Structure 1
Amino acid sequence: MGLKAILSKVFAAYVNRQLNHQRKNAVALQQKTFLQIVTRAQNTDFGRAHNFSGIKTYQDFKNQVPIRDYEELRPYIERVTKGEENVMWPGKPAYLTKTSGTTSGVKYIPISKESMPEHIKAARNALLSYIYETGNSDFVDGKMIFLQGSPTLAEKAGIQTGRLSGIVAHHVPAYLQKNRLPSYEVNCIEDWEQKVDAIVEETSKEDMRLISGIPPWCQMYFDRLSAKYGGKKIKDIFPNFKLYVYGGVNYEPYRKRMEDSIGFAIDTIETYPASEGFIAFQDSQNEKGLLLLVDAGIFYEFVPADEYFNDTPTRVSLEDVELDKNYALILNTNAGLWGYSIGDTVKFVSKNPYKIVVSGRIKHYISAFGEHVIGEEVEHALMSVAKEEGVDVVEFTVAPQVTPPPGQLPYHEWFVEFGQQPKDLKAFALKVDQALQKKNIYYFDLIEGNILQPLIVQSLKKDTFINYMRSQGKLGGQNKVPRLSNDRKIADELEGYIN
């Protein structure tokens, strides 16, 4: 065991004492965070408009600050992106993260000098929690790879702008820099296939011990490595590889293939990072759920998911949440987001300490590969092309195909019942794919990077959806076919209806 591994155990014990304090005092720490961030922002334009100086309690806050999504906060955020100061948080943001929007294609989320360190600390503490619980620290003596976006940053009104993972790459602690791969030069490669090939070359003879990234990207990396070494398992290429860290998508659909590629059931750490803040991480290999970070500059609110679209939905703070209830997650942050609906839903699996699982999105969605495609985007993509082509669409639904035939990339599979068929179904599908890429930057990245192949449209027989709903006992009334599913329950049923 090297010096870093020894010291990491000491540091892990220290961090665990801090986390225990947070576990035992979560509600009090949330109240402290609430008062701190409201007081800090009371002289901003947003704070003055919402009477922050008069807010003393959470009830006061709810009376003054409505729940808003990105589009509803856009007038304030656009002022921030134009370089105005003291709009939602004192001064200017340290960064703007570029991410996918719901209707606008791209959105910008501010990161302040106060919020940036919380991203780094949370990622660090996730690893230290693993070390403290398991005693396994040898991975810090070897190489670690973080499959992420390019760290190349642009500027918008004098503010550095980029993807969250690229921004975070600039803040990796010095004590990890020598262990960290890929190199900065390789990390800056924009073309994903070229980047993976370069990473394979750069890492294949290294002592890789920790690998981090979303499952489909890591699977592609593993496939390329295995091909380079004549079909070897990853454990035979990297005999000291012992820990996989992921976030952003559900690991379960990928687990079997990943473990087959690696050669054993590797330890994993799930994280819940977002552009808006680092929300939670898995702090135990033996307990379900992610530890909610209650002292990280974020004050959380929770809206019962079944009330979310009501005119006056219930809003509760941490002390009033219930176990196993589906909540829409609302954030108030030390980067200046207020009453912000992040779009995710969570459930509490423990209140001592407070632990959550991410249960989905507040609307139907697909995010099997980290793309966060929502209903408005698929509807626009399909209907705009159908109108252009003079094609009549009766009904449709979309699902991911995460286990394609050998030799093919995963894809989105669209099951469409046409009133009038396209003349060329493949050409029609390609146009829809291009339209969806324009609406969703994550999907664009996955297609450009050859993580996904372009979508496939399956033409269905007449009255397919009527017959399907009838078979489910859901014909008529308020029952609707979900336009999007993050699994293949509906898709598997519809395969028998393909023309």
Structure 2
Amino acid sequence: MNRILPYTLYPLTLIAAALAYLLTFQLTHLHLLALYSGVSLSAIIIFTAEKFFPLHHEWIPTKEDLITDVFFYSVIVQVAFPFALYFAGINILNFLGFKEGIILDLWPHHFSKITQFFILAISGEFFQYWWHRLCHTYKFLWPIHAPHHFQKKLYSWNTSRFHFFDKFVEFFFTIFIFLSLGLSVEILSYYYLFYAITGYVQHSNLDIKLGWMDYIIASGETHRFHHDSNLSASKCNYANNFVLFDLLFKTFKRIPGEKNPIVGMNSKNTPIGVIEETQYPISHFKDEFFQLILKNIMESVAGEKVKELQRATSDPKTFQNARLFEILQKNQETIFGIEHDFKNIKTVEHFKKNVPIRDYEEHRHYIEMIFKGETKALSALSPHYFTKTSGTTGKPKYIPINMEIQKAYIASQQILSHSLFKKDSKYLSGEIFSVVGNECEEILYDKWPCGSMSGKLYSLAHKSIKAKHVFQKDIATLNDSEKMYFYLAALALLSPNTTFYVSPNPSTLLKIFEVINSKRPELLKLIQDGNDPIVKKHSRKFDHAIELLNLQKDLKVTDVWPNLHILALWMQGSCSYLIPRVKNLIGPKTQLAELGFLCSEFYGTLPVDSDTNKQVPTLLDNYFEFIEKNDYESGNRETLGLNELKLGYEYYIVVTTIGCFYRYFINDIIKVTGFYNQTPTIVFSQKGKGITNITGEKISEKQLVSFFEELNSQEQRIKFFICLADQVNQSYTLYLESDSNLSIEKLEKDLDQHLKNVNIEYASKVSTQRLQPIKIHLLEPGTSELYRTHCIKKGQSEVQFKFLYLQYLSNVDFPFKSHSKK
């Protein structure tokens, strides 16, 4: 049988089915009933043969497979649905006055039945070939046909696995059109009997061989190549019945004796079950429609702003000077403008002469004037809101926000969103996991709300964007940092459809996943109880979250957010130290996006290249000046314009902002990484106060961070460190918190050697004993969280919080020494 069956089964099945057809027709005179009689017999024959002589045992269908194939795809999709379309179409045409559903009676009835059969078969094959090929060629059409390729095995019954949309197209082009031209039901029945039997054979789990007939009829040996799990390799053998058009258009593939390919689809997101399979193209079209709408919105809202920014980068000097004099002209009647004679300033040099460089404390007097009622002390526009951040003197810094500043912030966020869309257009297809601050932490002088700018911008977002945010305002109002992260961890577990994560500091993400993995029992209890108002809104995701928490492994981003497209955060400066740990959490398909240089006082940079994360200063909003790092530290205060910066150099930044600060020294250092047109692309390098100097060694925060980056790459997990310069005792003490078992003696030796290698002045001072070698103390677990909480209570923003890893001991009022391990 194994030798005879491959060559005889197909013709014998055709003969048996034809006899069943003729017998049934003789008894009933109903062509359609006769058709299904012949089709049913052929299905039984092929399926029985598969039972005894399977080609691949792994392709044998399960009971569940057969129930789905027979009762859903065969009975409903292949029989009931076409019947419903047939009778609906006929009745509609009859209603429109077309007798028996014939629009134009052009069918060649006078030809022999065999000739009519081949006319229908070849014409129908032409339509089906191109429809089939287009589905495999165009991404937009693929989801309609994809359900036919979901199964990772081939057997006779899954020839019926077609989506309703796919079946409708087939019905229209191979039934409806020909019936409307006068095709008889008899010829149609002959064709579909042949079509069904060929389909069963094509998909059968049998070693059926047609020999040279492979060049005429679409066989199983050739059709299996079409079901290759490699979708590129599957673009061949589109024929349903006759391979004429595959040969004609060079898509025919026949390699006798070649091992059958792995079939199906390799995607992890392949739908399982008839409901998901049926919804698949609907969901896809909904997503595509959303992407089309989103693209148009992005272009209409931000497209022109992006073009304007790009135009400005071609001539930064001209645009910067124009911006400066526009700011001066608008604010010449303010108290600050009158005091500094804005009205008579005609040149950039005159501006520099009239307005000295100043920090926040030298602006504070004008801020306090606003509080006393002089609302136009700094800007012609009165503030309606204040943000708050920590100050160098212990007093918080209050930043006035007027409508012009707010509008500029919104425009900057729109440009950022446009860039992210260019990076990955699917990044907003799911939920947004963001961490924002409290919009209103206090009311200043019973008049001005004061809080986080991120919270303010969130409140101004369109309701359609807010609806996508997982974050809830209730969390932003929590004063307990530990409690806040606990809820963030719960929401992360309850938002598996997250496609976009945004929060500036990478430590926020790391902390969320640390809580997920360290507080599983508490999270399980919270979610299983389900009554907490913050988690209650996500009740449909409870089972999924519980399943994740019961996994016996540390959860990563790939487990919790499998469809995450973009992670937007800070990647430069001191935050770069944490990026390797972030990369360890995410999968290869998630892209990192740089949020850029921004602070409470102003929005500093905007992306101009979504692929490389390159950012240029906000030259259309603010006026920038720069002082080369070494010049500044040697006492020089001469500033350079944006057009005068050099590649690879570091500069202190001085900025005149859109609405409230003039020649503002923020003590931030940026680095020039390249150029976009004629404008330098910059990144935040470090805080100016990230340099300490006791005896002339000038240790930088970057020098310290580079050591711990290397240490973390060796999987010696350092959770936190801070180095304090003691000017009294002329020594450095480094405190660190770690999960690893570390040899402090070796670590001291290695760090000391590292600093000697990267800082020759440190090496010289230590060798001459003018500076003591660095000492390391191990901190008790949880100290970093206590320090974070301490800093936030003093006024630092939770959302934009950054650890300063190098400071003078005299500037730090947290008792690290008392938290050292004994």
Q: Does 1:441 align with 2:765?
A: no
How far did residue 188 of structure 1 move?
A: 2.2
Q: Which has the higher strand share?
A: 1
Residue 140 of structure 1, aligned match among 423, 428, 432: 428
How far did residue 12 of structure 1 move?
A: 4.3
Q: Does 1:81 align with 2:371?
A: yes
Cα distance in 2, alignment partners of residues 115 and 200 from structure 1:
33
How far did residue 438 of structure 1 move?
A: 7.1
Cα distance in 2, alignment partners of residues 8 and 192 from structure 1:
35
Please tell me whether the aligned partners of residues 324 and 347 of structure 1 are also in contact (alpha carbons under 8 angstroms). Answer: yes
Cα distance in 2, alignment partners of residues 160 and 307 from structure 1:
41
| Secondary structure of the structure 2 residue equivalent to 1:315 | coil
Q: Tell which deviates more after alignment, 437-446 or 165-174.
A: 437-446
Cα pair distance change 1:441/1:284, threshold 3 Å: farther
**Counterpart residue identity of residue 184, structure 1:** K
Cα distance in 1, alignment partners of residues 464 and 372 from structure 2:
36
Please tell me whether the aligned partners of residues 440 and 449 of structure 2 are also in contact (alpha carbons under 8 angstroms). Answer: no
Cα pair distance change 1:332/1:156, threshold 3 Å: same
1:329-478 aligned within 5 A:
329-351=653-675, 352=677, 353-364=679-690, 394-397=729-732, 399=734, 401=736, 404-405=738-739, 437=790, 441=794
Cα pair distance change 1:262/1:482, threshold 3 Å: closer
Residue 398 of structure 2, aligned match among 108, 116, 140: 108
Please tell me whether the aligned partners of residues 439 and 450 of structure 2 are also in contact (alpha carbons under 8 angstroms). Answer: no
Q: Does 1:244 align with 2:567?
A: yes
How far did residue 104 of structure 1 move?
A: 2.7
Q: Does 1:154 align with 2:154?
A: no
1:53-132 aligned within 5 A:
53-132=343-422
> How many correspondences in the alignment?
421
How far did residue 327 of structure 1 move?
A: 1.3
Runs of 5+ consecutive residues of structure 1 not aligned to the other structure: 384-392, 420-424, 456-480, 485-497
Please tell me whether the aligned partners of residues 615 and 683 of structure 2 are also in contact (alpha carbons under 8 angstroms). Answer: yes
Greater relative CO, 1 or 2 (CA 8 Å, sep 6+)? 1
Q: Does 1:6 align with 2:331?
A: no
TM-score normalised per structure 2:
0.46
Cα distance in 1, alignment partners of residues 661 and 796 from structure 2:
25
Please tell me whether the aligned partners of residues 648 and 671 of structure 2 are also in contact (alpha carbons under 8 angstroms). Answer: yes
Q: Does 1:204 align with 2:557?
A: no
Cα distance in 1, alignment partners of residues 418 and 565 from structure 2:
15
Cα distance in 2, alignment partners of residues 212 and 310 from structure 1:
39
Cα pair distance change 1:152/1:304, threshold 3 Å: same
How far did residue 426 of structure 1 move?
A: 9.0
How far did residue 267 of structure 1 move?
A: 1.0
How far did residue 400 of structure 1 move?
A: 7.0
How far did residue 85 of structure 1 move?
A: 1.6
Q: Does 1:319 align with 2:319?
A: no
How far did residue 444 of structure 1 move?
A: 9.5
Corresponding residue for residue 275 of structure 1: 600
Cα distance in 1, alignment partners of residues 795 and 295 from structure 2:
37
Please tell me whether the aligned partners of residues 390 and 796 of structure 2 are also in contact (alpha carbons under 8 angstroms). Answer: no
Please tell me whether the aligned partners of residues 626 and 654 of structure 2 are also in contact (alpha carbons under 8 angstroms). Answer: yes
Corresponding residue for residue 471 of structure 1: none
Cα pair distance change 1:399/1:181, threshold 3 Å: farther
Q: CA RMSD in A?
A: 3.9
How far did residue 436 of structure 1 move?
A: 11
**Counterpart residue identity of residue 623, structure 2:** F
Cα distance in 2, alignment partners of residues 211 and 93 from structure 1:
31
Please tell me whether the aligned partners of residues 389 and 796 of structure 2 are also in contact (alpha carbons under 8 angstroms). Answer: no
Please tell me whether the aligned partners of residues 269 and 282 of structure 1 are also in contact (alpha carbons under 8 angstroms). Answer: no
Cα distance in 1, alignment partners of residues 603 and 584 from structure 2:
31
**Counterpart residue identity of residue 236, structure 1:** D
Q: Does 1:31 align with 2:321?
A: yes
Cα deviation 1:54-101 (Å, max 9, x = unaligned) = 012111101100001112222222222344221111243222211111
Q: Does 1:218 align with 2:552?
A: no
Cα pair distance change 1:7/1:56, threshold 3 Å: farther
| Secondary structure of the structure 2 residue equivalent to 1:59 | helix
Residue 253 of structure 1, aligned match among 577, 596, 602: 577
Q: Does 1:234 align with 2:557?
A: yes
Cα distance in 2, alignment partners of residues 339 and 310 from structure 1:
20
Cα pair distance change 1:278/1:89, threshold 3 Å: same
Cα distance in 2, alignment partners of residues 189 and 226 from structure 1:
22
How far did residue 343 of structure 1 move?
A: 1.0
Cα pair distance change 1:154/1:242, threshold 3 Å: same
How far did residue 166 of structure 1 move?
A: 2.7
Cα deviation 1:98-142 (Å, max 9, x = unaligned) = 11111234211222211112222222312311322x3x2212121
Cα distance in 2, alignment partners of residues 39 and 282 from structure 1:
29
Cα distance in 2, alignment partners of residues 374 and 95 from structure 1:
34
Q: Which has the higher helix share?
A: 2
How far did residue 217 of structure 1 move?
A: 1.0
How far did residue 152 of structure 1 move?
A: 3.0
Cα deviation 1:200-239 (Å, max 9, x = unaligned) = 3334232111111211111111233455423333212222
**Counterpart residue identity of residue 10, structure 1:** N
- Please identify the structure whose Cα radius of gyration is greater: 2
Corresponding residue for residue 299 of structure 1: 623
Cα pair distance change 1:175/1:396, threshold 3 Å: farther
Please tell me whether the aligned partners of residues 225 and 234 of structure 1 are also in contact (alpha carbons under 8 angstroms). Answer: no
Q: Tell which deviates more after alignment, 63-72 or 313-322.
A: 313-322
Cα distance in 1, alignment partners of residues 337 and 730 from structure 2:
46
**Counterpart residue identity of residue 687, structure 2:** R
Cα pair distance change 1:103/1:187, threshold 3 Å: closer
Please tell me whether the aligned partners of residues 397 and 483 of structure 1 are also in contact (alpha carbons under 8 angstroms). Answer: no
Please tell me whether the aligned partners of residues 322 and 348 of structure 1 are also in contact (alpha carbons under 8 angstroms). Answer: yes
Residue 287 of structure 1, aligned match among 589, 612, 625: 612
Runs of 5+ consecutive residues of structure 2 not aligned to the other structure: 1-286, 521-548, 692-700, 706-720, 743-747, 753-768, 773-777, 810-820
How far did residue 6 of structure 1 move?
A: 2.1
**Counterpart residue identity of residue 685, structure 2:** S
Q: Tell which deviates more after alignment, 47-56 or 350-359.
A: 350-359
Please tell me whether the aligned partners of residues 233 and 261 of structure 1 are also in contact (alpha carbons under 8 angstroms). Answer: yes
Aligned-residue identity in percent: 21
**Counterpart residue identity of residue 395, structure 1:** Q
How far did residue 311 of structure 1 move?
A: 6.0
Please tell me whether the aligned partners of residues 390 and 794 of structure 2 are also in contact (alpha carbons under 8 angstroms). Answer: yes
Q: Does 1:175 align with 2:528?
A: no
Cα distance in 1, alignment partners of residues 793 and 450 from structure 2:
18
How far did residue 332 of structure 1 move?
A: 0.6
**Counterpart residue identity of residue 512, structure 2:** Y
**Counterpart residue identity of residue 186, structure 1:** I
Cα deviation 1:414-451 (Å, max 9, x = unaligned) = x9x999xxxxx999xx9xx88994798367969xx9x9
| Secondary structure of the structure 1 residue equivalent to 2:630 | helix
| Secondary structure of the structure 2 residue equivalent to 1:274 | coil
| Secondary structure of the structure 1 residue equivalent to 2:730 | strand
How far did residue 396 of structure 1 move?
A: 3.6
Cα distance in 2, alignment partners of residues 126 and 364 from structure 1:
28
Cα deviation 1:440-481 (Å, max 9, x = unaligned) = 8367969xx9x99xx9xxxxxxxxxxxxxxxxxxxxxxxxx9
Cα distance in 2, alignment partners of residues 261 and 2 from structure 1:
29
